[in-house]
A and B are shown apart, each in its own frame.
Chain A
C-alpha cells in the first residue's frame, strides 16, 4: 500500500514551499473531515478523496490525525454532560432507542490468535453525541453512533474499566455499546456476554439492555448473556431488577447467588438459586471453563464460543457427562482429557477436532 515519494534535495526556497505544502496538507485533511461530517460523500467526492489519500503517505497520515482530533472534540465536549430528550429522561421507555446493528453471520467474527486474557483497555468516556469518521478500506465510511462501542474477537476476554468506577469483564465474540449520561448509565449488549461490577450510585442507575430484556442495578455485580430467545442473568453480588420492554411494570428482583432468564416475548422468568453453578459458569473471567456433570455436547458448544477450531462430538457420545476445569483457549487439551475420560478417541484437522467413539 505504500506510495513512495521521490524527493530531490531541497534548496532554501523549495524547503520553504515544502513547509507551506505540509501545512496545507493538514488543512486539506481538516477540510475533508468537515466535509465528511456534513454528509456522506457522493461517488465523485469519494473518488477524489481516495485519489488524494492514495497519492501520498503524508495525506493518509494527516487524514488520520485530523479524524482523531475531531473525535477528541467529542470526548472533550462530553465532559459537559449528555443532553437527552427531556421527555424521556428517567423512564424505562427511553431505553428502547433503536440501535439497528446488522447481526453478523457467525463466520464474521474476527478470531484472536490467543485470547487477550484480562488485558486492560483504555478508559471509556461517557456521554455526548459521538460522530466518528471511519477509515474504510476503499475510501471513507461514515459512522454516527450514540456511544462508545466495545467489541471482542473470538476467544478474547477483556476487562474494561468505566469512568464511574464500574468495570466489565467482556467475554468472547461480544459487542456492546456504552452510553453514560448524567442521569443514567446505559449499556447495550448487541451480542455475547459480559459480567459487570457496578459502582454504587442510586441517583444514576446502571441499566443493561439486551434486545427487549432489561437489567437494572444500583450497586451490584452480575452477568448478562444475550441468547436467541432471551437474556440470561446471573447475580454474584447485590440485587438487580429485571424486566422486558414494553411491559415495564412486570419486574422481578434477582439476588446474589440466583440466576434468571428474561424472555424477549414473555418477560422475566422466576429466579433459580444456583450459587455454585453461577461461579462455575463465570469461570471464563479467569480464562477457564468448568464443567461439573455437563454433557459432552454442551461442553463442546461452550468451547466453540471461544475458538475457531471447532469441536465436533460423535452423537453416540453427546450425552456423556464430564467434569473438569479447562482453559478457554485450549480446545485440544479438552478433547484429549475428555477422550481419556470417556475412553474415546479424538482427531484434529485444520479446522476441527472430532471426538468419536473408539
Chain B
C-alpha cells in the first residue's frame, strides 16, 4: 500500500453507506423473504466495503481481515436462512413475510 490514496476514504465510505442504505431500504420495502435475504447481504457488504476503505486509509491489514470475517459470517447466516426459507415454504406455503405473521400482539 502506498502512502497516498488515490480515492479519499470519505468517498469510499459514502459508497459503502449508500450500499448499506440500499440494503436497508430493500429490507423495509420487499416482502419476499428471498429478497430480504438479498438485502441483508447488501447491508453486510456495505459494512465490509467500509472496512476495506478504512483499512486502506490506515494502511494495515485489519480491514481486509474483517472483510473476510464478514464474508464468512454472511455466508453462514444465509445458509441457515435458506434452510429456514425451505421450512417456511413447507409450513406456511408462501414466501411472503406478511403471511408469516401469526405471532402478534
Whether chains A and B associate is no
Q: List residues of chain B with CB under 8 Å of any chain A CB.
A: none
- Chain A residues close to B by CB (< 8 Å): none
